Amino acid sequence: MPSKLLLLALIFFSAPAFAIYKCESGDKIMYSDTPCHNGKAGSMKKITVASPTAVNDSHTAQKQLQQDKKELQRLQQGREKQQAQEDRQQAQRYKLAEAKKRKCAESAQRVQWANEDAAKAPAKNSERAKQKARRTAEKHQLSCGSV
H-state helical runs in 18-57? 52-55
Phi, psi for residue 34 in degrees, rounded to 5: -120, 155
pTM: 0.46
* pLDDT tens, residue by residue, 62-109: 889 999 999 999 999 999 999 999 999 999 999 999 999 999 999 999
Q: Given this model, what pLDDT does residue 55 score? A: 47
Q: Given this model, what pLDDT does residue 78 score? A: 93
Rounded CA gap, 61 and 57, in Å? 6
Residue 8, pLDDT > 80, answer no
Cβ atoms 143, 102 nearer than 8 A: no
- Determine which of 1-10, 62-71, 84-93, 121-130 has the lowest per-residue pLDDT on average: 1-10
Q: What count of Cα atoms within 13 Å lies in the side-chain half-sphere of residue 93?
A: 6
- What mean pLDDT do residues 3-9 have? 67
* pLDDT tens, residue by residue, 37-48: 765 555 555 555
Residue 145, pLDDT > 60, answer yes
The pLDDT > 90 percentage for the chain reads 46
